[in-house]
Structure 1
Amino acid sequence: MKIKIIFFFLILIFIFSCPLKENYTNPKPSIYLLQLNGMINPITSQYVVGGIEDAEKEEAECLILQLDTPGGLDTSMRDIIKKMLNSTIPIIVYVSPPGGRAASAGVFITLASNIAAMAPGTNIGAAHPVAISEEKIDEEMKAKMVNDAAAYIKTIAEKRGRNAQWAEKAVRESVSITEQEAIEQGVIEFIAKDVNELIKIINGVRVNTASGTRVLKTEDTEIIPVKMSSKDLFLHSLTNPNIAYILLFLGIYGILGEFSHPGSFFPGIVGGISLILAFVAFQSIPINYGGLLLIIFGIVLFIIEIYTPTFGVLTAGGVTSLILGSFMLSKSTAPFFRISLGLIIAMSLSTAAFFIFALSKGIRIQWKKPVTGREGLIGKVGITKTVLDPEGTIFVYGERWQASTEGEIIKEGEEVEVLEVRGLQLIVKKCIRKE
């Protein structure tokens, strides 16, 4: 009987300790927040597509994509747009922060959203397609590219009920407008100073998704920031041509440091890693291999200069090759794939200044008067230990030497100056004291 009573109480404790079913059936709604800053490439495309998939699995109320981009690759942009147009949850694109922009591919992504918003002080537009390489494209091919992009952006704008006429002008004429002009022309729906204000504004808005019509309920929602993984952030940073260029120069300095001081290891390790990362970055950036070869040739000239000093000839050639290669390195006409002119000038001039400084030091050492050995005795002052008539002995530089004069007789104890070293004998003359 006691066992039955104890068992009964255990069942009651278990029932009352279990959470109510309501806690599972009515979870707090969530909003996924993604940030896309910089160039649109395969890394950022994977980040956005993955974020949308995760939000769909968790049945989030919506997903906000905070956007600030100069543009990017067409294939990566289309991957993002495909996912957005077929998403089962509402996608909100928010061009932010103030001073940010949605240019080129960013215009397409903004228009593909269920709700488009911008922060004060932002702009959108300039979606004219640009060839990645610098190879010449005939007028017929250019027309095909523009027509394809114009048709694509028009169908996106029409699907989302936005100003298709302006969208086409953004492609064909590269027009760009502010957030106020965008809302007046029906390009976006809202202006919000920050994400919190945007969430309040979109509460109750009706949108059409791939799963049907939904009314947003964003009041009292949990914001879930979705950040890039450390690996993706690192790979994304490598796609910046300026960072790739800096890594290339760090590699150059490291390798040169190892060659000039063999066995130090640290410069060589840092230089080798930097060079490898630079070449990894160049795989995702359209580069001119002629420019890269010029830079490598400049490195070779610097290394040869270290071992066979030519008093500046190889250094001048290396600096020239480095500068020309730097300007030729990027072969893209797209601004976000170009290396900063200021960075090229700064790095080239600093490299030139370093090697000119090192070269001048080397030349000074070559021409510097010896201070040790027999050559170092020339010009030294000694004291005669015997009469020089014309030969005798002197004491100079802490040592006793046989000495000879050129015809004159010098008494013992006089100061003499060394003029020449002939074998084991010094040629001297009497020091003339100035009264």
Structure 2
Amino acid sequence: MKKGLLIFFMMILGFSFLQPLLSSADNTKKVYVIPIHKEVEKGLHAFLERAISDAEENNAELIVFDIDTPGGLVTAAGDIGQLLDGVETKTVAFVNNHALSAGAFISLHADEIYMVPNGQIGSAAVIDQAGNAADKKAQSYWLSAMKSAAESNGRDPQVALAMADESVVIEELGIEKGELLTLGSKEAKQVGYSEGTVANLDELYETLGVDKSSVVNVEETFAEKLARFITNPVVVPILLSLASLGLIVELYSPGFGIAGSIGLISLVLFFYGHLVAGLAGYETIILFIIGVALIVAEFFLPGGIAGGLGIGAILASIMLAGGDVVQMGISLLIALLIAVATMIIFVKVFGKKMKFFNKIILKDSTSTESGYVSNINRLELVGKEGVTKTPLRPSGTVIVDDERIDAVTEGGFIKAGERVKIVKVEGSRIVVRDIS
């Protein structure tokens, strides 16, 4: 028995010595490859945050950003730059074709940059939604951000400034005043903005000495792809326009139909995309629900205060959901203008020609010309006599041909049981005179 226990403890002791060796053999350092493709928008930040967090939790040795983007929102790029600055793991930006504008800014935050032979990086001027140069305040911020991004990784800040400011001149690169700098792979390596040129990711792995079996390719989930699409600065005004137009049409339609459904679906998609992207919190959704509840309450409460507060709550929830209040305010204004203009065009121009439009819009009116009256005008009662059923002070009830009729006097008092004569009928107003 004692001999068996001794063997058992010896086995446990031997396993404890072998455990670190076995763990080190299985614990292969991973390399995470994270794509940054298409436009840079606010939804991209949420995806990168999740991907980087996964990499760091799994003790990744290296993070490679596979970049191919024409640029995007300055605010989104700024948030992504701050995110990359906080990454302790070594990072490499692989310019797999284009890293322009916001893409160049993101690349500058990586520890190293590699490019494909025909890759391009630069052309990072900040422009507004109309395609014009942004105001001086925005340009000043962007130039400072580009310069800091270059300096943080030991790159020439003058080159970064030339990418964003056409007034910067770099003679050795042939950049004159009035031109924005865009570097090819050779020029980027020449000025220290690229550590090397590789044909593809496989060649990059060989250059960096990475075992391909340790590579983890991070993919966007369906929810993240949808969030990126919805938070695109071009898509947001379209969604809000559909929501506004759908709900406005629904106000003129009997029941609840297609237009209202489209409006509600557009709003649901808007909030869902911004919620997944991390831009909106549940408090914005609660504020929106409160706004809807106040508008519904307006049907039962007098004064219009509840309705006004409800509309204000809905507009506030939409603006807060976007993260950037100014940009969302512009998008919301564009959406409302488009919705109103579309409704006017439909009603004035196509209203009589479009059969489908005539079916969904309630256009019937209860006018006198169409034969509708709010009250029956009983002119046949003029001249008839009756007896007051109740005192008239000056209104009351009279009996005419065994019919109870509400009537008023010409101004005086008539007690019950007196004979009266109908002298005037004005809609629902029947005037009687005392003839007793």
TM class, shorter-length: 0.5 to 0.7
SS of the residue corresponding to residue 20 of structure 1 reads helix
**Residue of structure 2 equivalent to 1:231:** 223
Q: CA deviation at 1:103?
A: 1.5
Q: Deviation string for 1:46-90 (max 9, x for gaps)?
A: 332443343333321110011122323334323333343343221
Contact map agreement 1:31 1:221 (CA 8 A) in 2: no
Distance 1:136 1:224 in 2: 40
Distance 2:253 2:10 in 1: 79
Contact map agreement 1:154 1:165 (CA 8 A) in 2: yes
Distance 2:151 2:249 in 1: 60
Q: 1:92-171 to 2 correspondence within 5 Å?
A: 92-96=92-96, 98=97, 101-131=98-128, 142=136, 144-171=137-164
Q: CA deviation at 1:134?
A: 8.8
**Residue of structure 1 equivalent to 2:335:** 292
Distance 1:270 1:134 in 2: 30
Q: Deviation string for 1:172-204 (max 9, x for gaps)?
A: 12322323332233221122222221111123x
* Structure 1 residues 242 and 289: CA distance shift in structure 2, 3 A: closer
Instruction: Verify: 1:269 aligned to 2:261, yes or no.
Output: yes
**Residue of structure 1 equivalent to 2:203:** 197
Q: 1:10-49 to 2 correspondence within 5 Å?
A: 20-26=19-25, 27-49=27-49
Q: CA deviation at 1:20?
A: 3.4
Q: TM-score, normalised by structure 1?
A: 0.55
**Residue of structure 2 equivalent to 1:77:** 77
Amino acid at match of 1:154: K
**Residue of structure 2 equivalent to 1:222:** 214
**Residue of structure 1 equivalent to 2:185:** 179
* Structure 1 residues 228 and 263: CA distance shift in structure 2, 3 A: same
Any unmatched runs of 5+ in structure 1? Answer: 204-217, 306-312, 318-354, 362-435
Of 268-277 and 167-176, the range deviating more from structure 2: 268-277
Distance 1:192 1:29 in 2: 23
Distance 1:235 1:292 in 2: 20
Distance 1:290 1:278 in 2: 16
Q: CA deviation at 1:161?
A: 2.9
Contact map agreement 2:41 2:232 (CA 8 A) in 1: no
Distance 1:91 1:255 in 2: 48
**Residue of structure 2 equivalent to 1:429:** none
Contact map agreement 1:64 1:93 (CA 8 A) in 2: yes
Any unmatched runs of 5+ in structure 2? Answer: 167-179, 275-317, 360-436
* Structure 1 residues 129 and 250: CA distance shift in structure 2, 3 A: closer
Contact map agreement 2:237 2:331 (CA 8 A) in 1: no
SS of the residue corresponding to residue 31 of structure 2 reads strand
Distance 1:196 1:28 in 2: 19
Distance 2:53 2:138 in 1: 31
State the identity %: 24
